[in-house]
């Protein structure tokens, strides 16, 4: 067994064989990747995935056909639009998603349609409020961390000194 890659102990072997003989052994389950891990594999550009991760994603896609067309391909196309600022492709992507996507993604498409002009501008223009949002997030985090422990003066100093 060790020649085939098993790295467990002999004691673990004996316990498992005894449980098999007694009929109380638990079936060995394959390691199922978490939804977060699967999402990270889908959202990364294909060329950045290692061969083993790409193979595991293929197994997931084969096991769950909904992921294949609906979620995986459309999510990758949307991520590509965001990365490369291709807002002119948004309407075509929305049409495809309305036809092929699973229900949760169709809900996302509905929200995109509600403010289509703003989404298209965000995917087309080089301007971004990301820096401002980052500062707001930092200030809120500082406020939460210092709540009830420090004075406003100290909070002000920490915000202004970027610590």
Percent of the chain with pLDDT over 70: 93
Asked if residue 153 and residue 90 are part of one domain, the reply reads: no
Q: Measure the CA–CA gap between 146 and 64, rounded to whole angstroms.
A: 46
Asked if residue 137 and residue 59 are part of one domain, the reply reads: no
- Identify the weakest region by mean pLDDT among 52-66, 85-99, 111-125: 52-66
Half-sphere exposure of 23 (CA within 13 A, CB side): 0
Q: What is the pLDDT of residue 113?
A: 92
Is the pLDDT confidence value at 70 over 80? Answer: no
Tokens of 131: 């820096």
**Is 96 domain-assigned?**
yes
Note the Cα 6 to chain centre separation in Å. 32
Q: Domain range holding 134?
A: 130-160
Instruction: Give the 3-state secondary structure of residue 28.
Output: coil
Asked if residue 139 and residue 63 are part of one domain, the reply reads: no
Asked if residue 113 and residue 142 are part of one domain, the reply reads: no
Asked if residue 137 and residue 69 are part of one domain, the reply reads: no
**Is 108 domain-assigned?**
yes
Asked if residue 43 and residue 119 are part of one domain, the reply reads: yes
Asked if residue 151 and residue 83 are part of one domain, the reply reads: no
Asked if residue 114 and residue 50 are part of one domain, the reply reads: yes
**Is 9 domain-assigned?**
no
pLDDT tens track for 123-138: 998 888 888 999 899 9
Asked if residue 138 and residue 115 are part of one domain, the reply reads: no
The DSSP letter of residue 34 is P
**Sign, Cα dihedral of 54, 38, 36, 86:** positive
Tokens of 54: 């790409």
Burial class (CB in 10 A: 0-12, 13-18, 19+), 89: middle
Asked if residue 112 and residue 154 are part of one domain, the reply reads: no
The DSSP letter of residue 71 is I
Asked if residue 147 and residue 107 are part of one domain, the reply reads: no
Is the pLDDT confidence value at 163 over 60? Answer: no
E-assigned strand segments in the chain: none
Q: Say what the pTM is.
A: 0.61
**Is 146 domain-assigned?**
yes
* Total count of domains within the chain: 2
Asked if residue 135 and residue 64 are part of one domain, the reply reads: no
Query: How many angstroms separate the Cα of 123 from the Cα of each of 23, 35, 51, 72, 79?
Result: 59, 26, 30, 20, 10
Helix, strand, coil percentages for the chain (3-state, nearest 5): 75, 0, 25
Q: What is the pLDDT of residue 69?
A: 63
């Amino acid at each position: 067994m060790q020649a085939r890659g098993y790295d467990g102990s002999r004691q673990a072997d004996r316990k498992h064989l005894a449980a098999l003989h007694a009929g109380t052994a638990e079936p060995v389950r394959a390691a199922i990747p978490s939804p977060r891990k699967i999402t990270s594999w889908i959202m990364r550009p294909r060329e950045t995935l290692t061969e083993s991760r790409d193979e595991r994603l293929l197994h997931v896609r084969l096991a769950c056909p909904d992921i294949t067309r609906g979620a995986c391909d459309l999510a990758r196309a949307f991520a590509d639009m965001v990365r490369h600022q291709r807002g002119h492709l948004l309407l075509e992507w929305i049409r495809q998603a309305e036809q092929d996507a699973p229900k949760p993604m169709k809900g996302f498409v509905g929200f995109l349609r509600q403010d289509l002009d703003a989404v298209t501008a965000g995917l087309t223009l080089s301007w971004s409020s990301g820096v401002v949002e980052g500062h707001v997030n930092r200030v809120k985090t500082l406020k939460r961390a210092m709540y009830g422990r420090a004075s406003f003066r100290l909070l002000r100093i920490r915000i202004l000194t970027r610590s």
